[in-house]
Structures are given as structure tokens and as C-alpha cells.
Amino acid sequence: MAATMSFTRRAISQVFTSNFVHCKRCLALGVRFTSNESKFNPPGNDESTHFGYENVSKEEKTKRVHEVFTKVAEKYDVMNDAMSLGIHRIWKDYFMQKLTPMPGTKLLDVAGGTGDIAFRFLEYMKYQDSLELSWQIPKKIKNLESWPQNPSEAEGDTSSSSDEEGDGHHVTVCDINKNMLEVGQKRAGQRGLTEGISWVEGNAEELPFDSESMDAYTIAFGIRNVTRVQKALDEAYRVLKPGGRFMCLEFSEVKNPLVKNAYDLYSFQVIPALGQILAGDWNSYQYLIESIRKFPPQEEFAYMIEEAGFACVTVENLSGGIAAIHSGFKL
Amino acid sequence: MAHIPRMETVTALASIRKLLASYYPCFSRSLSTSRPFLSESDHSHDKHEEEEMVTEEELKSSILDSALNFVPSHGWSVKAIAKGAQQHGYPGVTHGLFPRGGGDLMHHFVRQCNNDISKHLEGLSKDTDKSRNSSELSPSILRDAFQMRLRMLVPYMDHWPQAMALTALPTNIQEHFTNLYKLIDDICYHSGDRSVDFSWYTRRLALLGVYKSCELHIVQDGSHDYQETWDFLDRRLDDFTTAGKVKEDIDRFTNPEFFSAVYTVGRNILGVNDQRR
């Protein structure tokens, strides 16, 4: 208990010291004033937005993001592994585990070009099927000798291992960039995952799906590339069925100053260089790391999700804040 | 919904929330706990219609209530909650509302049982004699309360061992002990305990032991109508009452004068008490 109190005191003092160093107008509770003035659009100006550290018009941004992903599509997965040292796989595994999809789930994976989340979903559903048939907890704790010694000798009825409604799970991968989708389809073929998946080209701001048609909506490392984030969130709200879950895995703000320094150094020095060596494209990876810095931090993005109408919005930091999972429900 | 809020307002709100979250962990889990929203029976977005507004807590409660129906077939698990949500017309993924999965379902059930017992005991103690002194607990009320509480487990007895195992998980431990404490406290109070000394603690601890041992007994009891468990309960409660009496006896013999008396007698016997020589 003492440890928690001293931790919160340190956290509060961290917030306050950063406030008093940077802030020009402070409210009593300490408004966090970031030195990056153009984090949001200045009020009243709906024409321009940020593309990395540049200011561009909104149409320009959509076009340039499209160009970036056309260029990186082939080497996208290699670069992900190189940049995150393979940790992105763990993040995505945890993301799918957190969703814990049930049989019959209709998932919409937006900006899911090369299919990482979709493949994990399909493999999770296959794993769940095999789990149902394995050992169940014994019904009564009597006659201990009759406990199964070995999972394959399970006795007693294993409760409905195949659901009555049939396992109608399906994942729709939607991406604005055709090249990313093509890479994804190729990978799906290689892994033998052709059942229960469909590939649709579409814009996250105007989804080509009916309202209330999806059980779950996921977007992994895609929402910071969307020009109008609030519009994408509104679209997510529209296509989800009541009770549906919105989940977003995205790079976020690292709070811990030590980790932050190391992470900034790595981002700005190593990643564009890696991009040049492995993919022959410095600028695209420069855009990538700048777009991470421009994306709102955890609490503000959570607020935006609530604005779209979602309830029970929660945030979970991964790797100290380098990535974060936001989750909300349409209730 | 289309307008983007001013930066200062957003950051002010965000830092207020962050401050609250650091002092009150419940805020960090869910940023809006009592937000009213449309119930599942009204999906149309026609704002002119009469809307049934339910809070999040009520909705979660009703999903868990439906999920309890699926416990006999699926155990205390995420699957049972998903089935419960499906009964409400929600997709299976709505189980994500309960991050502790089966643990949340179990805690909900335990809280419900404890509330029922409390109400029953409150009704009882209004009728009984109020002039009981604090050194006695009514054994009949104790026995009835424990029996009633244990009988509530009967519909879920097959999977209760799983629930007991779930209470050992770190995320569930705290709430498990809180609920257990409330249960024992209620039972003790309504059986007539008005003590203000150390026996407040010892009684509750002893009754906790009684309850837990009976719970362990009942999950492996195969007798008709769990008769062996009620006999076991009676024996434990007898021990409890006897221990109470023994404690009083001990109290009588552990004051300083008694020890000095024992010391003097010992010296007399040994012949080394030369005060009278």
C-alpha cells in the first residue's frame, strides 16, 4: 500500500513539474500543456492536418499516406520485425487474446492490409475448436481414482463441443491500399487460410459495410494514418452491432522518462536508417515515426472514442506505453 | 459528434481524469461508469421515441444474471458470460466488459447470495429478543444462516470447485476476502454479537473457519440432501461455542493476580517461600 502511495505521489509530482516547466496558463489542477501546439487542428481550421511534422491539407494527406503504403507494402512485414525486434508479434497476439472472440464472431479488421490480425483471429478460432474437445473439469469431486490421468482419457460428458449454431466466424479485412491487400492475400495463400476471410478495399472514414453488421471492429497500427480520426471512430460505431466491441492497437505516448529517451533515440536515429537499408525508403519511415509523435496520447484518444458514442472505454499500455490497446463497447 | 473539441478543454479533462485515476483506481479502469445509454430493446435512433435508459452497471448485472444460467454447462468461464450476453441479443465478444472473466461472474453470484442472506437475517433479527448480551451468539440463527448460505451453492455445486480455485487468482483475492468478511460480519451481527473488545475479531475469525471448512465439505458430499454437511456444521458450531466458553475461562485465569498467586503457591510447595519462616 505504501509503495502504491509513493508511486502515485511521484506520478503526480511528475505531472506537476512538467506542467510548471512548460505551461503558460495553469488551472488549479494543472492542465497539461504540450509544447507541440499543432497536435490537434487549430479551432476553426478544418482544411489542414499533419503529415508527420509537416502541415498539409486533408486531401493531400490521404494521397500521401496512400503513396507511403504503396511503397512499403512488399517489405512491410520485414520492416515491422526489424523495427520492433519482433515484439509487434507479441503485441498482436495479446491483442487477439484480449478480444477472445467466441464462435460465430464477425470481425472487421480495418487498415489490416497484410492480414496479421486476421490470421491470428482465424488461428485462434481453430485453436478454440480443438480446446473444446479436450479435457473438461470433472463434474463431481468424489472418487478421486476416477479422475482422468491424462487429457485424452476424459470421461463424463464434454459439454456441447460443437455449438448448435455452427461456427460461422468470419473476418473481413478492409484496407484503403490495394497493394497491401494483395500482399495479404498472398500470405493467406501461403498459410492455407482461405476459409472465412474476405478482402475489401475501402476507406476507414467511409466504410462500405451496412450499419450494425459487425460483432467486433479492430484496427491495429492504422488509425494514426487516417486523416479524420473522429470520422473513422463514428464509422466504427455505425457498423458495429449493439454490444459490439471496438479495439484499437496503436503506438502511444511513453510516460516513463528513461524509456522515453531510449525510445526517442532509437526511433529517430535507427528506424529511418533501417528503412533505407531494408526497404530503400528513408522518407516513408521518417513519416512513420513522426506520425506516432503527432497522434494524441492515451487519455485524449480515449476521450475521442467516448465522443463517438462508445461506453466502458479502457486503455491498456503495452511495453511501458510504446503501444496501447484502447477498447470500447457500443452499448 | 462531428466537431473536434478545443485542445485546452480536452487536455484539461484528460488531466482531471488522470488525476482521479491515480487516486481512485476504479476510474482508470473505465472512464465512464454511470453513463446512461439505450437499452437493447430500442435500437432505433429516433430521438423522439420514449427511450428506456439503463445504466452500465444494471446492464452488466443483467448480463451476469443470464450468464449464471449457463454455468452448469460451461463452468465459471468467459464462455458462460458470452452465452449470457447472447441471450440479451449481444454478440459473444461482449464478454470483454468483464476483464476478469469467470472471476467477475463468481463475484457477482457471491455478492447476490450475501445480499440475500443479509436481507433474510435483517428480517429475522427484528423478530427476536433484543436483550441478549454480547457474550452469547444465538446458535439457532447461526446454524440457519450458514445452512441457508450453503444451500445457495447447491444449483452450482458441480462447478463450485472451479469457483473456489478462481478465488486464488491475484485479481480475485481482494474481492473474495471483502465479500467473505461482509458475509461473516452480517451473520455475526444478526446472531447477536455486540462485543466491543477483542472477541469481535476472534469470533469472526472462528466463524470464517467454520464457513470455509463447511464449504470444503459440501463440495465433496454425496449424501442425501447434504445431511453429512449439516451434521459437520453442527459439530463445528459446537466447537465454536465451546471455544467461546473456554476463552472466558482462560480470561479468568490470565490476570496478573492469578499468576502471582500461582507463583506464591509454587514457592510454598517447594519450601523456598521463607516469608513466614
CB contact, 8 Å: A325 with chain B?
no
- Asked if residues B59 and A331 have their Cβ atoms less than 8 Å apart, the reply is yes
Span of A73-82, A119-128, A188-197, B145-154 with lowest mean pLDDT? A73-82
Distances (CA, A) of A20 to A16, A26, A263, B14: 6, 8, 24, 17
Which of A137, A215, A230 lies at the smallest CB-CB distance from B162?
Answer: A137
**For the residues A140-157, what does the mean pLDDT come to?**
47
pLDDT confidence of residue A34: 40
Chain B stretch 158-187, residues whose beta carbon is closer than 8 A to a beta carbon of chain A: 158-159, 161-162
Condensed to tens digits (0 to 9), the pLDDT of residues B55-80 reads 889 999 999 999 999 999 999 999 99
CB A304 within 8 A of CB A296: yes
Among the residue ranges A25-29, A37-41, A139-143, B103-107, the one predicted with the least confidence is A25-29
Say yes or no for a CB contact (<8 Å) between B5 and A12: no
Question: Which DSSP symbol is given to A308?
Answer: T
Q: What's the pLDDT tens digit per position in B110-151?
A: 999 999 999 999 888 776 655 555 567 788 889 999 999 999
Task: Count the residues in chain A.
Answer: 331
If we measure between CA atoms, which residue out of A178, A244, A195 comes closest to residue A216? A244
| Cβ–Cβ below 8 Å for A100 and B78 | yes
Across the interface, do A99 and B85 touch by the CB < 8 Å criterion?
A: no
> Least CB-CB distance to A311: which of B6, B56, B220?
B56
Partner-chain contact A309 B1, CB within 8 Å: yes
Strand ranges across the sheet with A170-175: A197-201, A170-175, A106-110, A214-220, A240-251, A323-329, A311-318
A302 at interface of B, judged by CB pairs closer than 8 A: yes
DSSP A137-155: --S-S--GGGS-SSGGG--
Instruction: Say if residues A116 and A153 touch (Cβ distance below 8 Å).
Output: no
Rounded average pLDDT over A275-289:
87
Partner-chain contact B90 A241, CB within 8 Å: yes
User: Can you give the pLDDT at residue B51?
Assistant: 44
Strands A170-175 and A197-201, how do they pair?
parallel
Q: What pTM did the predictor assign? A: 0.73
- Residue in chain B lying closest to A169 (CA): B92
- The reply to whether B23 touches chain A by the CB within 8 Å rule is yes
Establish if A299 touches chain B: CB-CB under 8 angstroms.
Answer: yes
Chain B interface includes A228 (CB < 8 A) = no
Nearest chain A residue to B87 by CA: give it: A243
Query: A58-72, A143-157, A182-196 — which one is most confidently predicted on average?
Result: A182-196
Lowest mean pLDDT across A1-5, A281-285, B94-98, B202-206: A1-5
Segment 92-121 of chain B within 8 Å of chain A by CB: 92-97, 99
A311/B17 touch (CB, cutoff 8 Å), yes or no: no
> How many of the other CB atoms lie within 10 Å of CB of A50?
20
| Interval A234-256 mean pLDDT | 94
Say whether residue B8 is in contact with chain A using an 8 A CB cutoff: yes
* Grid coordinates belonging to B90: 449481444
Residues 6+ apart with CB under 8 A from A317: A252, A298, A323, A324
Residue B33: predicted pLDDT: 41
State the Cα–Cα distance between residues B206 and B203, nearest whole angstrom: 5
pLDDT value at A304 more than 80: yes
Phi-psi region of A141 (alpha: psi -120 to 50; beta: other; left: phi over 0): beta
Q: Give the residue among A32, A29, A28 at the shortest CA–CA distance from A18.
A: A32
Q: What is the dihedral of CA A113, A119, A120, A123, to 10 degrees?
A: 170
- Which of A8, A216, A311 lies at the smallest CB-CB distance from B32? A311
**Within 13 A of A231's CA, how many CA atoms are on the CB side?**
11
Cell of A44: 476553426
**Confidence at residue A11, expressed as pLDDT on a 0 to 100 scale:** 52
